[in-house]
Amino acid sequence: MTIIHDFPAGTFRGYFALPLLQASDGNLYGATIAGGANGFGSVYKLTLDGQYTLLHSFPEGRSAGGPTTLIEASDGNLYGAAQAGSGCGEIFRITKSGQYSTVYRMTNGPDGFGPCWLLQGSDGLIYGIAHAGGSVGAGSFFSLDLGLPKPRPRAQHFHPQSGTAGTRVRIWGSNLLSAEVNFNGVPATAVSNSGANYVWATVPSGASSAPITVTTPGGTITTRASFTVE
């Protein structure tokens, strides 16, 4: 293991886990619930060789709780949710160069209370879950239409590398919701997933060795490696 950056003490606190994401530019992006220039959270960029850049520091008051989620959307920008001291918060956009803007401010109650967690669906909408608030006070599930394009799929690798008809193949990547899978032009017998980062596909009869093609509402991607039909 190699440590590529040390954060100051107190940067991460509470029960929030904000994992790093590797964006389409190859860099790592993340957020902290505390720390930054003002002590109330930050968004940062980290290159793979350890170069750290502070992109945004959250101010006291309006977003005092700091960010609780961060994703990359199909327009290439980062989106997240930040808590405010009152419990509700805002959905924000931040460019990879650090330009910050609020795209939606959550109302005190009906929209839900933070923390919130976000993802972009295959239809281009931003979907989120708020852990409290909503119509009965027990949380809410919401969508936000920002006019974003449908996200293009990415298929990075798959396992197993070979098999006979009927073999279940797991394809890893991103934006793989509502996917259709073809093995050298032959549709997979069955396709299923429970998230955007992978898809299960069953090798059909009549398939031959070739790269695997995945099609979603956002486009088509073909794996670099070939699946070998035995």
Residue 206 is part of a domain; what is its CATH number? 2.60.40.10
What is the rounded CA–CA span in Å between residue 155 and residue 164? 21
Residue 187: which domain range?
A: 154-229
What is the rounded CA–CA span in Å between residue 166 and residue 218? 27
pLDDT at 214: 96
Q: What is the pLDDT along the chain (230 residues), one digit of tens a residue?
A: 889 888 887 777 665 667 889 998 999 999 988 888 787 789 999 999 999 999 999 887 654 457 888 999 999 999 998 876 555 578 999 999 999 999 998 876 778 777 788 988 888 999 998 877 778 877 888 999 999 999 999 888 999 999 999 999 999 998 898 899 999 999 999 999 887 889 999 999 999 999 999 999 899 999 999 999 99
- The residue among 105, 125, 144 that closes a domain is 144
128 and 219 fall within a common domain: no
The structure tokens listed for 229 are 């039909």
The structure tokens listed for 123 are 């239809």
pLDDT at 16: 62
Whole-model pTM? 0.79
Contacts of 171 (CB under 8 A, 6+ apart): 155, 157, 158, 181, 198, 199, 200, 201, 212, 214, 223
25 and 131 fall within a common domain: yes
124 and 189 fall within a common domain: no
Backbone φ and ψ for 209, nearest 5 degrees, come out as: -65, 130
Contacts of 182 (CB under 8 A, 6+ apart): 188, 212, 213, 215
**How distant is the alpha carbon of residue 74 from its chain centre?**
10
The structure tokens listed for 78 are 């980062």
pLDDT at 58: 87
3-state secondary structure of 172: strand
Q: What angle do CA 110, 112, 118 make, to 5 degrees?
A: 135
CATH number for the domain that contains residue 140: 2.130.10.10
138 and 213 fall within a common domain: no
41 and 82 fall within a common domain: yes
What is the rounded CA–CA span in Å between residue 191 and residue 179? 7
30 and 119 fall within a common domain: yes
Q: Is residue 10 part of a domain?
A: no
pLDDT at 116: 83
pLDDT at 107: 77
Q: Is residue 7 part of a domain?
A: no
158 and 137 fall within a common domain: no
pLDDT at 65: 59
40 and 127 fall within a common domain: yes
How many domains, the chain? 2
